[in-house]
Amino acid sequence: MKVIPSGESLGAAIEGMDLARPLPPAELEGVLRTLGQYGVVRFPRQQLTGRELRDFSAQLGDLEINVGSQGYQEPGVPEVMILSNIVENGRPIGLADAGQGWHTDMSYSRMIAFANVLYGIKIPKRDGTALGATQFANTQAAYADLPADVKRVLEGKTVLHDFNKFWEMMRREKGSKRPPLTEAQRKSKPPVSHPAFLKHPLTGNKVLYANPGYAVRINELPEKESDEMLEFLFRHQLQPKYLYTSHWQERDVLVWEDIGTIHNAVADYGPHEHRLVKRCQVMANRYFREDEL
Ligand SMILES: [Fe+2]
């Protein structure tokens, strides 16, 4: 395997690997090491069935069957969720607006996410340029650069993450057709707290774990101070020096780890510019216990 760094704050490509077969332990270790070092890793020119995508992803950790994926799953492989704006016989074949806004997957969950694995099957293009890029921000670097007084204030503090925040943002700001969450849905996804700073399981570095999509409150601060601090943290981690944009090519597998990065799906394509991506969600229970989070 050959690792080609992007030269930016995040990102590398690994050439010469076939993800359709089980990885020998040394290769799996190499993938994890590269993921720790670069946060986002692209594997070009893969040829995977839904089952092979699931089996590759499962080598990185336990897979989550996403509650929002019902109706948008690979037949017979519920761990594989379909992200698409394609409509067949009047019915969407996938979730069309997933992840359009800066966030960390599953930060609203007791057990957080470790990684995402996406496989790009149909990538929209305009005038030869690929659309629907995935953007990332480096939360290890964002932590390292925090002013000393902010580090001091937030050390040992916890942040409340609420699934409904991103849902409502999609409804209000993005004109999504999502209905409001029902009382029962909100009860099934109560907000959860995690430390403001986590230790990255692959690098040992601290990360800022307070993403704009789900973080609603620093529990131990008065509301006004919490609001101001979150506003600062959201702006801080999205400074251009921490950003990296991954441009898709068809048959790319893109893997990112969710602890040292936040991400955003760029919505720059129309309903007739078709996109089809398959996705697995890898959880972090190999690295954290719920009571440490
Ligand atoms: Fe996401």
Q: Is the pLDDT of residue 62 over 90?
A: yes
Annotate the chain with three-state secondary structure. Answer: CEEEECCCCCCEEEECCCCCCCCCHHHHHHHHHHHHHHCEEEECCCCCCHHHHHHHHHCCCCEECCHHHCCCEECCEEEEEEEECCEECCEECCECCCCCCCECCCCCCCCCEEEEEEEEEECCEECCEECCCEEEEEHHHHHHCCCHHHHHHHCCCEEEECHHHHHHHHHHHCCCCCCCCCHHHHHHCCCEEEECEEECCCCCCEEECCCCCCEEEECCCCHHHHHHHHHHHHHHHCCHHHEEEECCCCCCEEEEECCCEEEEECCCCCCCCCCEEEEEEEECCCCCCHHHC
The pLDDT score that the predictor gives to residue 173 is 79
Q: What separation in Å is there between the alpha carbon of 231 and the centre of ligand 1?
A: 21
pLDDT above 80 for 175: no
Per-residue pLDDT, averaged over 93-107, amounts to 93
CA of 239 to the centre of ligand 1 (A): 19
Give percent of the chain above pLDDT 90. Answer: 88
Q: How far apart are CA 129 and CA 242, in angstroms?
A: 24
Contact 133, 256 (CB under 8 A): no
Q: Of 57-71, 103-117, 182-196, which one has max mean pLDDT?
A: 103-117
**Confidence tier at 71 by pLDDT (50, 70, 90):** confident
| pLDDT for 194 | 98
Summarize pLDDT for 225-250 with one digit per residue, the tens. 999 999 999 999 999 999 999 999 99
Interval 32-42 mean pLDDT: 98
Predicted TM-score (pTM) of this structure:
0.96
User: How many angstroms separate the CA atoms of 70 and 65, rounded?
Assistant: 9
For residue 264, the CA-to-ligand 1 centroid distance in Å is 7
> Using CA atoms, how far apart are residues 233 and 99, in angstroms rounded to an integer?
20
- Residues 190-204 have pLDDT tens digits of 999 999 999 999 999
- Distances in Å between the alpha carbon of 67 and those of 73, 79, 166? 11, 11, 15
Whether residue 255 has pLDDT greater than 90 = yes
91 pLDDT band (50/70/90 cuts)?
Answer: very high
233 C-alpha to ligand 1 centroid (Å): 19
**98 CA distance to ligand 1 centroid (A)?**
7
Whole-number Å distance, alpha carbon 225 to ligand 1 midpoint, is 28
| HSE toward the beta carbon, residue 285, CA cutoff 13 A | 12
- At residue 40, φ and ψ (nearest 5 deg) are -130, 125
**Alpha carbon of 291 to those of 67, 180, 202: distances in Å?**
23, 31, 19
- Quote the ligand 1 centre to 119 CA distance (angstroms): 14
Q: What is the dihedral of CA 214, 218, 224, 225, to 10 degrees?
A: -130
- CA–centroid distance, 60 to ligand 1, in Å, is 17
User: How many whole angstroms from 83 Cα to the centroid of ligand 1?
Assistant: 11
Tell me how far the alpha carbon of residue 66 lies from the centroid of ligand 1, in angstroms: 11
pLDDT surpasses 90 at 178? no
pLDDT in the model for residue 32: 97
Q: What is the reported pLDDT for 177?
A: 78
- What count of other Cβ atoms lies within 10 Å of the Cβ of residue 60? 22
Rounded distance from Cα 206 to ligand 1 centre (Å): 21
Which backbone phi and psi does 94 adopt, to 5 degrees? -155, 175
CB contact set of 51 (below 8 Å; sequence gap of 6+): 76, 77
CA of 104 to the centre of ligand 1 (A): 6
| Cα–ligand 1 centroid distance for 149 (angstroms) | 31
Residue 258 CA, ligand 1 centroid: distance in Å: 9
Q: Which CATH architecture has domain 2-284?
A: 4-Layer Sandwich (3.60)
Distance between Cα 64 and ligand 1 center (Å): 13
Band of the pLDDT at 45, cuts 50, 70, 90?
very high
Split at pLDDT 50, 70, 90, the class of 172 is: confident
CA–centroid distance, 101 to ligand 1, in Å, is 9
Q: Is the pLDDT of residue 176 over 80?
A: no
Q: How confident is the model at residue 135 (pLDDT cuts 50, 70, 90)?
A: very high
pLDDT averaged over every residue in the chain: 95
